Amino acid sequence: MSGLAALWRRAICQRCWKLRHPPLRPLSSLMGETDRFNGITVDVKQVPESLPDKDFLDLLHNSLQIWKTEKITAAWLKVPIQYGRFIPIAARLGFQFHHAEGNSCHLKLWMKESSEDKTPRFATHQVGVAGFVFREDTQSVLVVKDRDRKFSFWKFAGGLSELGEDIGDTAVREVFEETGVKTEFQSVLSVRQQHTQPGAFGRSDFFFICRLTPLSYDIKPCSEEISACQWMNIHELHEGCKSVAPITRRILDLAMYGLKEGFHNVDLYAVDMQSVYKGLRYKLYHRPYPS
């Protein structure tokens, strides 16, 4: 092929490539998804990571002007960690931190100037769960002592619920992880509400105590979390043991009443319910009543 023909062919190929891949037009505003409250959520990932700071400032400013005309109530920016240098720029335009998790954070700007900010704070509560495991054949309760804690009390095994995890599932999982005993969820015995709890990162605390039936009995305690673990006679634990926290003693009072009068007088049972939101379900806990 002659040199002239080769140049001609290369020019044609370049023209075809440009037709198939037109140059990207610079963004004039950020794109996002609106919610039912007329807020907008924008993923900053849509802009090039190398975008100059001034260009991002202009882009965000232009977007805010457009959103104002659309009467957007709140603007949310999802900022991946690698885009962190854009956070101070957004702060200059009024954005504040709302929450951070994993490899991204969410910034928020309340835009409805005619009313106060109505967006809820993030993670206002944490959920803890413990399992009251009663063994009928020996009239004993599964109790543990935590390792490396300020207070050394006999207590029920438990821990924090994971995101999207049912209360009963948390109780079963935590009891197994701490003691090696397999159980089955029966009911909720009680719930505690507490504020300003040390170690809760300033969050309020809900703590559910669940009644579980043991499916195994051999104890294999987690040495990293538990200093002691055993089946203890419920009468001895209730009447003679001094090393028991007040909440554990109160739950033992409930359990003794349930054993005497029937747990249907104590238990909060879980009822699976259909949500008003299509395709979703939830669990409602309440005392039984005649149908």
Confidence at 79, pLDDT banded by 50, 70, 90:
very high
Residue 122 amino acid letter? F
Active site residues per annotation: 177
Summarize the confidence of residues 233-244 as an average pLDDT.
86
* Percent of the residues in the chain that have a pLDDT greater than 70, as a whole number: 91
Answer yes or no: are the C-beta atoms of 130 and 174 closer than 8 Å.
yes
- What's the chain's length in residues? 291
pLDDT score of 4 = 54
Question: Which pLDDT does position 290 carry in this prediction?
Answer: 81
Whole-number Å distance between alpha carbons of 197 and 150: 14
Q: Residue 157: pLDDT band by 50, 70, 90 thresholds?
A: very high
Q: 253 in helix, strand or coil? A: helix
Residues 6+ apart with CB under 8 A from 179: 142, 144, 157, 219, 220, 221, 222, 226, 229
Tell me: the pLDDT tens digits for 95-120? 999 999 899 999 999 999 888 898 88
The token pair that represents 15 in the structure block: 């023209």
CA 142 to mean position of chain CA atoms: 28
CB-based contact 140:234 (threshold 8 Å): yes
CA nearest to 283, candidates 234, 201, 210: 210
* pLDDT band at residue 169 under the 50/70/90 scheme: very high
Q: What is the mean pLDDT of residues 18-27?
A: 48
CB 258 within 8 A of CB 190: no
Task: Reduce the secondary structure of 108-122 to three states and give it as a string.
Answer: EEECCCCCCCCCCCC
Cα 60 versus chain centre, distance: 30
d(CA 38, CA 83): 26
Instruction: Tell me the domain boundaries of the chain.
Output: 32-119, 125-286
246 CA to centre of own chain: 28
Percent of residues in the chain assigned helix, strand, coil, to nearest 5: 30, 30, 35
- For 132-146, 166-180, 191-205, which range has the lowest pLDDT when averaged over its residues? 191-205
Q: Of 215, 136, 233, 126, give the one whose Cα is nearest residue 175.
A: 215
Task: Note every long-range contact of 61-70, with CB atoms under 8 Å and residues 24 or more positions apart, other chains counting.
Answer: 61/93, 62/28, 62/29, 63/29, 63/30, 64/93, 64/109, 64/111, 66/29, 67/40, 67/111, 68/111
Average pLDDT over residues 246-266: 93
CATH 3.40.50.300 fits 32-119, yes or no: no
Which CATH architecture does the domain made up of 125-286 adopt?
A: Alpha-Beta Complex (3.90)
Q: Which residues pair with 92 in a beta bridge?
A: none
For 98, the enclosing helix (H) or strand (E) is: strand 96-101
pTM: 0.77
| Strand pairing category for 40-43 and 74-80 | parallel
Alpha helices (H) along the chain: 3-20, 53-69, 87-92, 167-179, 234-239, 246-261
CB 275 within 8 A of CB 281: yes
For residue 36, what pLDDT is reported? 84
Over residues 20-32, mean pLDDT: 64
The answer to whether 144 touches 224, Cβ cutoff 8 Å, is: no
